[in-house]
Amino acid sequence: MGTYYPWLKALHIAFMVTWFAGLFYLPRLFIYHAQASDTVSRERFTVMERRLFAIMTLGALLTIAFGAWLLFAQQILLQATWLHLKLALVAGLLVFHYRCHCWISVLRDAKSIQDTKWLRWFNEIPGILLLGIVLLAVLKPY
């Protein structure tokens, strides 16, 4: 595997943390944005959401790039069931990431959203996916 493999893994984890920081905080911004009643606050949240989404998208792309590089370096992992499950959860994260992009547009164009209950549930999804991903990567149960 060479001496570069631990470096790849470290960078994969570091950019994953960047991605998840955005995945955890952006939905919370959506809740605050939806509850904002004045134009200045809504415009401020729109800017914050757009900038955070750009940073977390960079984190996602680099996480995926270093993850793919890790798989290329150790292709035997592609036979492991736990990795298939982990990749399925990562696919779920990508769907969540895309839905965040959609919410940015909805909130930018909407005057207000009365019920934030769905956004509060939406806010919990990345934590559940993270738990599954970490447990699979560390325990390698299958």
Task: For residue range 109-126, list pLDDT tens digits in order.
Answer: 886 677 889 999 999 999
Distances (CA, A) of 66 to 6, 128, 132, 138: 11, 23, 20, 18
- Indicate if the pLDDT at residue 83 is higher than 90: yes
What span, in angstroms and rounded, lies between the C-alpha atoms of 142 and 135? 11
Note the pLDDT of residue 113: 77
Mean pLDDT of the chain: 95
Note the pLDDT of residue 2: 75
Q: What is the mean pLDDT of residues 67-93?
A: 96
Q: How many domains does the chain have?
A: 1
Note the pLDDT of residue 53: 98
Q: Which domain holds residue 133?
A: 5-139
Note the pLDDT of residue 112: 65
Q: Which two tokens stand for residue 103?
A: 């919410």
